[in-house]
Amino acid sequence: MNLDILNIEIQEFINANLKSDISNLLLKGVSFDGIETKSIIEQIEAKKRCEKKLPTWFNAANIYYPNKLNIEQTSSEITAKYKANLVSGKSLIDLTGGLGVDAYYFSKQIENVIHCEINTELSDIAKHNYKALNVSNITCKNDSGIEVLKELDQHFDWIYIDPSRRDDSKKKVFLISDCTPNVKTFQTLFLKYAKHVMIKTSPLLDISATLSDLKHTKEIHVVALNNEVKELLWVLERNYEGNVIIKTVNLQKDKIQNFEFHFENETITNPNYSEPLTYLYEPNSAILKAGAFNSISEQLELNKLHKHSHLYTSDVLVDFPGRRFKIEKKLAFNKKAFAKEKISKANVTTRNFPLTVGDIRKKLKIKDGGSVYVFFTTDLNDEKIILVCSKI
């Protein structure tokens, strides 16, 4: 960590070149004494990535940025705020602090936060940035979070951990037992020192399989940002043995879509089925990841088109955590029937259908875009159908 990068002239250069071509900058080099061109380029690249993801950091003065990989791996401010709203109390320890975005937002809800980071430079960067952001209730410790937890030997209201999903060769891993630290191994230790534990994992993790690895799970939060699932949050509570509640959230610019259900009830819930009615509903990505296919049908009193289609329909329009459409026409899937509709441009979606969107566009000569939405799916009679819709 070279604090000379924070000199006014260098900071002005970084800000002036946020939109410059990096290749050209590397070729030209920079003329600041004691600072390598590479170091300044790294600051430019990292800061650029923070403009939308970490606007508080981007807009603050004297912020020192880690390499762009650390920026990619950190939580966005939006998802960090969501996590912070799940905790309360006097003390929290973040065992894998990283750049410190999650700890920053936890500090707004918790009186005293400990940020653990084994990487010395990253720990120093987080400590420096907290000072620049006027945060005084976070203590940074440059050590393994597990070791800090053992050494402190004290009770916390919450333990938070975001285990590394990369192995020693920097390749991504997906099983919870392959992450570092291995939370499957250490979960008993965590619950010894805190009543509540929150674990952040990859959105690719299999929920059912992971539940068998994590004991005392009370809640699972499936967090999507603008309909892209970003993370799974596992909330463990000491001695908890009840049903697991899955809470899905889709964080959007103008609204938040929420839906929750009991994991154990999903397989015993029997939805109703019907032909397409007046309205069509497509669940958001968080619900699809959570597998709430039957629960959403039951709770919102909607009919499914087919067991595996995961599209829903009704005659009365309801509020829905996903996209809503008015069905204008139902067609059998064949080229001649579709040609009569004279649709040359449309937004195409497939659900439980043998062809890809690309195959369909080529076969039926449909360009992308426009105000028409066309769903290619399978109905309750196992017939391939086309639903021509308008978006609500």
Predicted TM-score (pTM) of this structure: 0.92
pLDDT (0 to 100) of residue 389: 97
What topology is assigned to 3-71 in CATH?
A: Arc Repressor Mutant, subunit A (1.10.10)
- Interatomic CA distance for residues 200 and 196, integer angstroms: 13
Strand arrangement, sheet containing 110-116: 138-141, 110-116, 89-94, 156-161, 194-201, 228-237, 217-225, 245-251, 256-262
- Give pLDDT, residue 266: 94
Q: How far apart are CA 196 and CA 88, in angstroms?
A: 10
Whole-number Å distance between alpha carbons of 118 and 33: 31
Separation CA 317–CA 74 (nearest Å): 39
365 φ, ψ to 5°? 55, 55
User: What is the SS3 string spanning 222-287?
Assistant: EEEECCEEEEEEEEEECCCCCCCEEEEEEECCCCEEEEEEEHHHHCCCCCEECCCCCEEEEECHHH
SS3 332: strand
**What string of pLDDT tens digits covers the 392 residues of the chain?**
888 899 999 999 999 989 988 888 888 777 787 788 889 999 999 999 999 999 999 999 999 999 888 898 899 999 999 999 999 999 999 999 999 999 999 999 999 999 999 999 999 999 999 999 999 999 999 999 999 999 999 999 999 999 987 656 567 766 787 888 889 999 999 999 999 999 999 999 999 999 999 999 999 999 999 999 999 999 999 999 999 999 999 999 889 999 999 999 999 999 999 999 999 999 999 999 999 999 999 999 999 999 999 999 999 999 999 999 999 999 999 999 999 999 999 999 999 999 999 999 999 999 999 999 999 999 999 999 999 999 99
Lookup: tokens for 163:
């285990």
If we measure between CA atoms, which residue out of 271, 270, 266, 268 comes closest to residue 281? Answer: 271
Please tell me the CATH code under which domain 75-242 is placed: 3.40.50.150
| Whole-angstrom distance, CA of residue 210 vs CA of residue 203 | 12
